[in-house]
Amino acid sequence: MPRFLIACVLALLFSGCSAVPRGAFSPNAAPSPPDYGQDSYWAALPWRQDEADLAPGGLAGRQAEAPVDVFFLHPTTYTGKKGDTNWNGPVQNPEVNRRTLESPIKYQASIFNGAGRVFAPFYRQAHLRAYFTQDTSSARRAFELAYSDVRAAFQHYLDNYNEGRPIIIASHSQGTTHGKRLLQEFFDGKPLQERLVAAYLVGIRVEEDDFRHIAPCRDSLDTGCFTAWRTFKRGYKPKKDYPDEVVVNPLLWTTEETYAPKSLNLGAVLVPFEKVRPGNTDAQVHRNILWASKPRFPGSFLMTRKNYHVGDFNLFYVNVRENARARVRAFGAGNE
């Protein structure tokens, strides 16, 4: 693979840079709202060919006969351009949507096509800098707008597509910011909780008391529960402890600090997407984060970051994939 291409892929998968929105949040500058009755406002739908259908290394997708649904919320792909005033990304911008499809839908949502029908909405995501800005009022309003879309998409899905099927919620980064609220509003102590197979809330801090009735998963076959982790290079020391943060080891599926060797890793999927890499990295819960050894793939020598945030799912791609299928069977909805 040419070095310049490797660098581009690394920039997509393991780093992030962005311009800062100019001015305060203004609802008048917000992009037009999506119409989830139109397929074009969805990044993935089970009856349409899209990146969520892909399966690397001979793995087989099973959406056609899947007994459950997966509602996937993608991470931030809206980084803006210099001079932009929008705190939220447009939902029909070809460049933003291409980044969404070619990175998180392809590399993350596809994990779940072995367990369920994958639904993933485009939404007016908050700008990446909303997580770091001192203008917290604008950031809060941007996240509220983004969640209003997520909520509308999920309600449309329930009203038109679900038909009483069990549900997996899966999310990463900003998707998890909204995924937590979605679980609180629709599932936590509500009748819909009975249909929750599991929630994979990855890449953002999730604390045990974020939910009143949904507990962290205790093992690999627990259902009606949630898993969460944030991945860093082995040896990284967190600057701050969050004693109530939930960290699940995706190689062991427990919150114990037991070391999980590389031999338990069934396969990372990095670059190229088509190649599954068994034994690529290990995993160990350390305080309020997950430690992993540096992954190896073409061009990994260029990767110096200790924060493996964008690889949270991909480093453990096959393990998450198989675990989702196992929880579906344990829930009693499997057909194998």
State pLDDT tens for residues 201-257: 999 999 999 999 999 999 999 999 999 999 999 999 988 889 999 999 999 999 999
Considering the chain, what percentage of its residues have pLDDT values greater than 70? 93
For the chain, the straight-line distance linking the first and the last C-alpha, in angstroms and rounded, comes to 39
pLDDT value, residue 302: 81
- Cα separation of 220 and 217, whole Å? 8
pLDDT for residue 313 is more than 80: yes
2 vs 257, higher pLDDT? 257
pLDDT value, residue 306: 95
Rounded alpha-carbon distances, angstroms, from residue 83 to 32, 183, 331: 19, 35, 50
Q: Which range has the worst mean pLDDT, 90-104, 256-270, 322-336?
A: 322-336
pLDDT for residue 177 is more than 90: yes
pLDDT in tens, 79-96: 987 667 789 999 999 999
pLDDT value, residue 255: 97
pLDDT for residue 12 is more than 70: no
Contact 202, 231 (CB under 8 A): no
Q: How confident is the model at residue 19 (pLDDT cuts 50, 70, 90)?
A: low
Calculate mean pLDDT across residues 171-175: 98
Query: How many C-beta atoms surround the C-beta of residue 332 within 10 A?
Result: 10
pLDDT for residue 3 is more than 50: no
pLDDT value, residue 70: 98
- Cα separation of 87 and 202, whole Å? 23
Q: How confident is the model at residue 299 (pLDDT cuts 50, 70, 90)?
A: confident
Q: Which range has the worst mean pLDDT, 131-135, 154-158, 213-217, 224-228?
A: 131-135
pLDDT for residue 322 is more than 60: yes
Rounded alpha-carbon distances, angstroms, from residue 16 to 49, 76, 128, 172: 28, 10, 9, 15
Q: How do the domains of the chain map onto residue ranges?
A: 3-331
- Cα separation of 281 and 292, whole Å? 6
pLDDT value, residue 11: 43
What pTM was estimated for this model as a whole? 0.93
- Cα separation of 25 and 65, whole Å? 44
2 vs 211, higher pLDDT? 211
Calculate mean pLDDT across residues 298-307: 87
pLDDT value, residue 334: 61
- Cα separation of 7 and 68, whole Å? 38
pLDDT for residue 155 is more than 50: yes
pLDDT for residue 200 is more than 80: yes
pLDDT for residue 336 is more than 60: no
pLDDT in tens, 28-63: 889 999 999 999 999 999 999 999 999 999 898 889
Closest of 111, 260, 221 to residue 171, by C-alpha: 111
